Structure 1
Amino acid sequence: MVGAGIGGVTAAVALQRCGWEVTVLERAAALGEVGAGISVWPGAAAVLNDLGAKGIDQAAALSGPTGLRKPSGRWVVAATHLGIDLPVMIHRAQLHDLITAEFGPAVTVRTGYTVETVTQDDSGVLVNGSLRADLLVAADGLRSVIRTALYPQYAGPQYSGYTAYRGLADVKANDGGETWGPAQRFGIAQLIDGRTYWYATANQPAGQGGDLAAVIRRYGNWHDPIPQLLASTDTALQNDIYDLPLPLVPFAAGRIALLGDAAHAMTPNMGRGACTAIEDAGALAKHLTATPDLVTALTQYDAERRPAATQLVKRSRQIGRMGQLENPVAIGARDTLMWVGGGVARGAAALRRKR
């Protein structure tokens, strides 16, 4: 296993439960996750529950309302009216801890280990010329060394045109959701520990950077509770947003499987990146258990996961483009369509409740 992010550690637990001896190779000096909030949708929560990770159900029970607003605070559409499932909202580091707590003696972790070369033959995979394994799972992220080695002609990460800010406020917001303004958005989500996770996006060239002061300048006069959240935040993380171009490369090559961002890095507009990695891990373990031949099992894994991930990459990219519109006419048409669509969905939800 190369990479100990959310997808990598989930795969390690899943393979352990299938009877595999797993070595996790992590470039960082210690295990852990940085960042802020993360959404765990029902499919990923089901995988984690099957793996024995504890605390996800509790988190799901505490998820709050969400929806879409304008900077003035006027609601365009409220998700609570639509009858849709809401995700678990949890701090990324807390989720990582819940998963790694399931590591048993079959999982060995080697931190401070950088993978530089990978070769394979019919009998196994060789890492850095010395470490041999029957199977290599590449969960080494957006700029995956292993994906590049397998598919050197693939273009690799592409910039979306906007950057993202994330932060944690030590106050509890009464509601959540997203607010869309011209070329920028702001999102609010309640975490299970009582804090509020917020995130924001803004169109700008790659590499320009930004900090909490930049966020306050952009969003400090938007509707409540945004000003209060920013005032209760100590620092903001800033990351330019990239995804992988379509078509995605195969997730399996011989005895090597790609997983998570290494396979299908997507923009965060649907909150599905980590969830998709978790679902990858569940599917990988399922196919390795059901199919004795390893190469065939990985081919089946690719056949299941690549089409699903492709659709999510595409849809998330489309949502980002809509959310980052700058032209006032296009923004007006977008908001009208969403308001009308929300009304139709509310009516359908009301009919379902009457049945």
Structure 2
Amino acid sequence: MARALIVGGGIGGLTAAVALHRRGRQVTVLERAESLEPVGAGISIAPNGQRALDVIGLGDTVRELAAWQGPGGMRTPGGRWLARTDSAATARRFGSTLVLLHRATLIELLRAELPADAVRTGTPAELTDPGDVDRPATVSTPTGEEQAELVVGADGINSAVRGTLFPEHPGTVYAGFTTWRCVVPSGGREFAPHETWGRGLLWGTHPLKDGRSYAYAAATVPPGGRAPDSELAELRRLFGSWHDPIPAILDAATAEQILRNDVRYVQQPLPAFHRGRVALLGDAAHAMPPSLGQGGNQAIEDAIVLAHHMPGDADPGPALAAYTADRLPRTMDVVRRSARTGRATTVRSRAGVLLRDAMIAGVGRFGSSMMLRTFDGVLDWQPPERTYAARPDGR
């Protein structure tokens, strides 16, 4: 049985492991962290990500976790609605609505689809040989070297696998803003999901199915900064006077729950998403700003397309070339769209904000369908095949 080593046990890596396992490969996930408990908060699974998960039999399970079926939209810091969106309109245009859930929930769903011994935590891995048509790829771990017919680099935005494959690539660049994220109890409060855009500032709040709320924020600040007291205190300074339920969300949070990260992305495309017998996916290949909520969805798409192209025991070279041809143009288009949206959300000048808000309100007057058109070509993606979830031989 052909073997696949997946370096990284995040959402993209685990999806790849499940998809390759269903294709009949022996999979081993090598995760540096001591557990799969993700250091993260919420994630939005869009219709394109849900269709990708359909291929491995998890799409409907995720859809059942949708917490909100109704209106939402974009607001000003004072609470005025700039534009309204509607989950039913999203479903009509793209086949389903967005599903917000905790990253840990999706990690657990994916892990449950793998054999008990498929995931090895506390195992840092270094790619030492990408392999070729005549030899397998080699990965070094604390317990020795391991070889496989296929290695998948799913080790995130600071990917060491990417650096080994393409040492000449400049890596990631700062997107111009920093984000904060948290998941807090909602206290029984009900509210419509929203994003609120200010001057160089953004806030988003979304209900989760389990009764908690996922909140995120962004600000145009220099990279590498940290609050002098706590990140929660910083959020109160920036957003404490904004509309309800933002102050209540901040009151429900603790300083330990706040995650702060500078946003970096792959501005210059890689020459390919593979080399030798190694494939890159997710942030390792095409890290993007979170402005369209597509980072995790594109990683899931990557995993499904990679497994689709993989042959049995044959040289994976042609299949990896086909994977690059499928994924590199699409993902870099989403990267560029995300970067443009990120720049729009964090406009700092008063005149720029007035112009931006007027344009959003103008589009919003035409209803949800006009707003949703901006996601054409992203959320309407279809997987290369419908499902192989139930195939006993994985073929």
Are the structure 2 counterparts of residues 314 and 114 from structure 1 closer, same or farther at C-alpha, using a change threshold of 3 Å? Answer: same
Aligned-partner Cα distance in 2 for 1:346–1:297 = 40
2:193 alignment partner, one of 170, 173, 176: 176
Residues 52 and 102, structure 1, Cα contact 8 Å, conserved in 2: no
Are the structure 2 counterparts of residues 133 and 63 from structure 1 closer, same or farther at C-alpha, using a change threshold of 3 Å? Answer: farther
Residues 181 and 259, structure 2, Cα contact 8 Å, conserved in 1: yes
Aligned-partner Cα distance in 2 for 1:258–1:133 = 15
Query: In the alignment, what sits opposite 2:82?
Result: 76
Indicate yes or no: 2:253 matched with 1:243.
no
Unaligned 5+ segments in structure 2 are: 1-5, 92-96, 372-395
Residues 63 and 89, structure 1, Cα contact 8 Å, conserved in 2: no
- Output the amino acid matched with 2:7: V
Provide the TM-score with structure 1 as the length reference. Answer: 0.93
2:72 alignment partner, one of 62, 66, 70: 66
Structure 1 residues 316-355: aligned runs within 5 Å: 316-346=338-368
2-11 or 207-216, which deviates more = 207-216
Query: In the alignment, what sits opposite 1:263?
Result: 285
Residues 67 and 207, structure 2, Cα contact 8 Å, conserved in 1: no
Aligned-partner Cα distance in 2 for 1:38–1:251 = 24
Structure 1 residues 101-120: aligned runs within 5 Å: 101-104=112-115, 108-119=118-129, 120=131
Residue aligned with 2:101, SS = strand
Are the structure 2 counterparts of residues 88 and 179 from structure 1 closer, same or farther at C-alpha, using a change threshold of 3 Å? Answer: same
Aligned-partner Cα distance in 2 for 1:104–1:297 = 25
Aligned-partner Cα distance in 1 for 2:64–2:263 = 31
Indicate yes or no: 2:103 matched with 1:92.
yes
Aligned-partner Cα distance in 2 for 1:189–1:320 = 19
Provide the TM-score with structure 2 as the length reference. Answer: 0.84
Query: In the alignment, what sits opposite 2:377?
Result: none
Residue aligned with 1:285, SS = helix
- Output the amino acid matched with 1:108: A
Deviations 1:207-255 (A, max 9, x none): 1123111101110110111111111112311111111112233111121
Query: In the alignment, what sits opposite 2:250?
Result: 230
Residues 177 and 219, structure 2, Cα contact 8 Å, conserved in 1: yes
Are the structure 2 counterparts of residues 34 and 337 from structure 1 closer, same or farther at C-alpha, using a change threshold of 3 Å? Answer: same
Residue aligned with 1:178, SS = strand
Shift in Å at residue 289 of structure 1?
4.7
Structure 1 residues 125-144: aligned runs within 5 Å: 125-128=137-140, 130-144=145-159
Query: In the alignment, what sits opposite 2:136?
Result: 124
Q: How many residues align?
A: 348
Indicate yes or no: 2:15 matched with 1:10.
yes
Q: Which has the higher contact order (CA 8 A, sep 6+)?
A: 2
Query: In the alignment, what sits opposite 1:310?
Result: 332
Query: In the alignment, what sits opposite 1:353?
Result: none
Residue aligned with 1:126, SS = strand
Give the % identical residues. 41
Aligned-partner Cα distance in 1 for 2:313–2:163 = 28
Are the structure 2 counterparts of residues 186 and 330 from structure 1 closer, same or farther at C-alpha, using a change threshold of 3 Å? Answer: same
Indicate yes or no: 2:176 matched with 1:161.
yes
Shift in Å at residue 291 of structure 1?
10
Aligned-partner Cα distance in 1 for 2:249–2:353 = 26
Residues 84 and 368, structure 2, Cα contact 8 Å, conserved in 1: no
Residues 77 and 342, structure 1, Cα contact 8 Å, conserved in 2: yes
152-161 or 179-188, which deviates more = 152-161
- Output the amino acid matched with 1:157: T
Indicate yes or no: 2:37 matched with 1:28.
no
Unaligned 5+ segments in structure 1 are: 350-355
Deviations 1:105-134 (A, max 9, x none): 6x6222222223421232210112721100
1:298 alignment partner, one of 320, 323, 343: 320
Aligned-partner Cα distance in 1 for 2:369–2:150 = 51
Residue aligned with 1:209, SS = coil
Residue aligned with 2:174, SS = strand
Indicate yes or no: 2:204 matched with 1:187.
yes
Structure 1 residues 270-285: aligned runs within 5 Å: 270-285=292-307
Residues 188 and 198, structure 1, Cα contact 8 Å, conserved in 2: yes
Query: In the alignment, what sits opposite 2:55?
Result: 50
Shift in Å at residue 173 of structure 1?
3.6
Residues 82 and 345, structure 1, Cα contact 8 Å, conserved in 2: no
20-29 or 239-248, which deviates more = 239-248
Residue aligned with 2:65, SS = helix
Query: In the alignment, what sits opposite 1:40?
Result: 45
1:208 alignment partner, one of 210, 214, 225: 225
Query: In the alignment, what sits opposite 2:378?
Result: none
- Output the amino acid matched with 1:205: P
Shift in Å at residue 64 of structure 1?
5.1
